[in-house]
Amino acid sequence: MEDRKKRTEIASMGEFGLIKHLTENLPDPNESTLKGVGDDAAILNYNNGKRVLVTTDLLMEGVHFNLAYCPLKHLGYKSAVVNFSDIYAMNGTPKQITVSLAFSKKFAVEDIDELYAGIRIACEQYGVDIIGGDTSSSLTGLAISITCIGEADPDKVVCRNTAGSTDLICVTGDLGAAYMGLLFLERENKVFMQTGLRPDSDDADFAAKSYIIQRQLKPEARKDIIEALARINVVPTSMMDISDGLSSELLHICKQSNVGCRIYEDRLPIDYQTAVMAEEVNMNVSTVALHGGEDYELLFTVPLEMNDVFQNLKGIKVIGHTTKPELGCCLIGRDGLEHNIVAQGWNAFPEKEESNDNDEAEDDSELKS
């Protein structure tokens, strides 16, 4: 991505050399990590009265990320954090990850270093150990597969299917910013592709979009919220993280818990930069907040009695309540009218793909650009 002096071919280092290079000097591990990298399998000890949580994500270049505007270090950070987010969404704490990477010849050791540096920073930030993985070549592009293992108290694990029918619905932070950041980066990249003029990331437009760019490129998992809930001794009745968009996740909770819901348009938490960008691209900002993915905020429900507490918690917004299932899932608009909620978030298998098996032009250009 950056201009580089040095390019070390991965073949010159070999698989074992590369693994050693990437995983040396890892910080002291968690108590539950007995043995990490270096054997057929890692050895963990979870005889600690906790539940073990396991989640996994596979990110493919050109589908989940575009290296034309996503720096490898940020990508590494994000790849790890999105997995941590899934563990927090169970009211747990992430403890270990395995990192599998496959990369084509366009990547040098220095590129993989950048990517791995991002993963390591995320792990240090969140107190997670890298305990193993796999590295190999790929014919085209980069694939990143991370599995995260975490723990939670048996009586505090929170699932999606346990919301009550008179609960408050809460979301953390604000919504839609990551999606607006994506649209901004794609717009700038398109200008660059057409004009050859590299956008100046120091200019005023980038500064005015810094929050939404950061939300797209370097999201955080809501460790702070999970810790805050623990401090006030609240276990949500249901919870998940918002990766595919609020509407999609809300419908998951409602369907799996067999409840309906009412959420209020005027209560959707939206950042100023999100609103500005939505206007620039001529989108309704509520639509952006409802359907934009990758915010990695938490969506959860708590009993109605906690209304007073949750109306005043920093970083948490009550956006509505659950109902009996027969009332369906609706958004109450600013006009007071009810609109059925329909999932329109991230689609892993779009009908019309941007690229196909025969069209590899994009793949090769990214590191050269």
Q: Which residues between 54 and 83 bind a second copy (CB under 8 A)?
A: 54-58, 60-64
Q: Is 57 helix (H, G, I), strand (E, B) or coil?
A: strand
| Minimum gap (Å) between residue 184 Cβ and a second copy | 23
What is the distance between the alpha carbons of residues 328 and 289, in angstroms, rounded to a whole number? 20
Q: Which is nearer to a second copy, 251 or 283 (CB)?
A: 251
Q: Is 26 helix (H, G, I), strand (E, B) or coil?
A: coil
Question: Is residue 99 within 8 Å of residue 130, measured between CB atoms?
Answer: yes
Q: Taking CB under 8 A as the rule, does residue 1 contact a second copy?
A: no
- Give, as one character, the DSSP assignment of residue 346: -
Q: Taking CB under 8 A as the rule, does residue 98 contact a second copy?
A: yes
What is the distance between the alpha carbons of residues 150 and 168, in angstroms, rounded to a whole number? 27
Q: Which is nearer to a second copy, 84 or 184 (CB)?
A: 84
What is the distance between the alpha carbons of residues 323 and 332, in angstroms, rounded to a whole number? 13
| Minimum gap (Å) between residue 120 Cβ and a second copy | 18
Among 89, 119, 168, 217, binds a second copy (CB under 8 A): 89
- Span 202-261, contacts to a second copy by CB under 8 A: 240-241, 256
- Span 308-367, contacts to a second copy by CB under 8 A: 347-351, 353, 355-358, 360, 362-364
Sign of the C-alpha dihedral computed for residues 77, 82, 83 and 86 taken in this order: positive
| Minimum gap (Å) between residue 25 Cβ and a second copy | 18
Sign of the C-alpha dihedral computed for residues 349, 355, 360 and 365 taken in this order: negative
Q: Which is nearer to a second copy, 251 or 276 (CB)?
A: 251
Q: How many chain residues are in contact with a second copy, going by CB under 8 A? A: 87
| Minimum gap (Å) between residue 227 Cβ and a second copy | 18
- Span 117-176, contacts to a second copy by CB under 8 A: 131-141, 143, 145, 147-150, 152, 154, 157, 159-161
Q: Taking CB under 8 A as the rule, does residue 294 contact a second copy?
A: no
| Minimum gap (Å) between residue 176 Cβ and a second copy | 21
Among 81, 102, 221, 225, binds a second copy (CB under 8 A): 102
Task: Count other Cβ atoms within 10 Å, centred on residue 188.
Answer: 20
Among 22, 44, 225, 275, binds a second copy (CB under 8 A): 44
**Given strand 238-242, what is the order of strands in its sheet?**
238-242, 297-303, 167-172, 316-323, 260-264, 329-332, 338-340
Phi, psi of 134 (to 5 degrees): -155, 140
